[in-house]
Amino acid sequence: MQKVLERDWRTTFLPQFQACVRAGSYSFMCSYNRINGVPACANKKLLTDILRGEWGFEGYVVSDEGALELIMLGHHYTRTFLETAVASMNAGCNLELSYGMRNNVFMHIPQALAMGNITLQMLRDRVRPLFYTRMRLGEFDPPAMNPYSTLDLSAVQSPEHRNLSLEAAVKSFVLLKNVRGTLPLRARDLAAGLAIARVLLGEAGANPAGRLPATWPAGMHQVPPMENYTMEGRTYRYYGQEAPLYPFGYGLSYTTFQYRDLVLSPPALPVCANLSVSVVLENTGQRDGEEVVQLYLRWEQSSVPVPRWQLVAFRRVAVLAGRETKLSFQVVAEQRAIWAQDWHLEPGTFTLFVGGQQPGQQMRVPSEVLSARFTVTGAARPLRGC
């Protein structure tokens, strides 16, 4: 098995989870995989040392469905479910999501406690965030005092929530190419577009290649090949109850944007300082629209391997046709940190990229991506020392 360097998973795989902690998430799920031979749900370094110790997470960790059983049955990391219960409890797992077996892993916790493999204090520590969550959800309150007890399908299917689901679906579409201004579809094209969507999205595999039928609905013969459109994830699972009801392109205001006047301040900053960024975004198209402005950072030299690009900021911005807006961002010192047995900040030269359709867009005219360099001065130092 190939060993994954801690530096690699610290800089590539873990930042998004740390962002979830900072955003206030109270629940994480440990997955099926293993890192350097240790299954995630039995990995104390991940679930306790980093998640709780370094990041200050106070919530609970639930296993992916069957992940605890697979510690023994799949990874052969343990020999019995009793041993698996001890390993996962010690690692920091609070709750088991089982395949449905009556004799699942956490059913062996009483035996582990009786044998002294886990302590009563550990059991209390694992249970506390579970009951705290249940209390926050009002499970121990009289139904009249619990606002969640009145929720039913009428709330889920309310116009407000259906509109929110539709908005999420529309904003999640990715338009790779808009030939001859096909999108947004006009009202008379919606029925034809829906027919196309049913052909392309049918999650039984009748049309795995996404090919279009030989006979087009009337009025749709000029639509470009559908490989120009993509949707991230599985439609029915991720796009909510509204996704199957509308063809792709519905509500999209496809337009063009141009960036200019990128300013980095200061262009040379001390090792612990933050960088201020401003840029002007102009809607050069004929329709009102939204742009997701993205900022990526690149190290020009570093003492250890680092990502080719690192996302450091993004913002969805609505701009009217023919109008412009000035945007401000801040890139904090922590986003320049590198892992070398600990998080460190180093001096050197950095390049900041600002634009849409990143990373990897070709830097050639008329590319919309702007870039500028800045330098960091001073001696290298641990991030916690700033």
Select which of 8, 49, 64, 125 is catalytic.
Answer: 64
Per-residue pLDDT tens digits for 131-164: 999 999 899 999 889 888 888 888 888 889 888 8
- Those residues whose C-beta lies under 8 Å from the C-beta of residue 89, and which sit 6 or more positions away, are 109, 112, 118, 122, 123, 126
Q: Among 365, 375, 361, 358, which Cα is nearest to 295's?
A: 358
Where residue 65 falls among pLDDT bands split at 50, 70, 90? very high
Please give the C-alpha separations between residue 156 and each of 159, 160, 161, 165, in angstroms, as whole numbers.
9, 9, 6, 10
Contact (Cβ atoms closer than 8 angstroms) between residue 293 and residue 357: no
- For the chain, the average pLDDT equals 82
Q: Which CATH architecture has domain 257-385?
A: Sandwich (2.60)
The per-residue pLDDT for range 71-85, each reduced to its tens digit, is: 999 999 999 999 999
Give the other-Cβ count within 10 Å of 167's Cβ: 13
Whether residue 263 has pLDDT greater than 90: yes
Which of 178-187, 267-276, 295-304 is predicted with the least confidence, judged by mean pLDDT? 178-187
- Written as one string, the DSSP assignment of 89-105 is HHHT--B---SS-TT-G
What does the block give as tokens for 357?
Answer: 């359709």
- Residue extents of the structural domains in the chain: 6-136, 154-245, 257-385
Q: How far apart are CA 232 and CA 355, in angstroms?
A: 21
Specify the CATH architecture of the domain 6-136: Alpha-Beta Barrel (3.20)
Contact 117, 110 (CB under 8 A): no
Using alpha carbons only, what angle is made at residue 23 by residues 372 and 328, rounded to the nearest 5 degrees?
A: 30
The domains spanning 6-136 and 257-385 adopt the same CATH topology:
no
- Annotated catalytic residue 64: yes
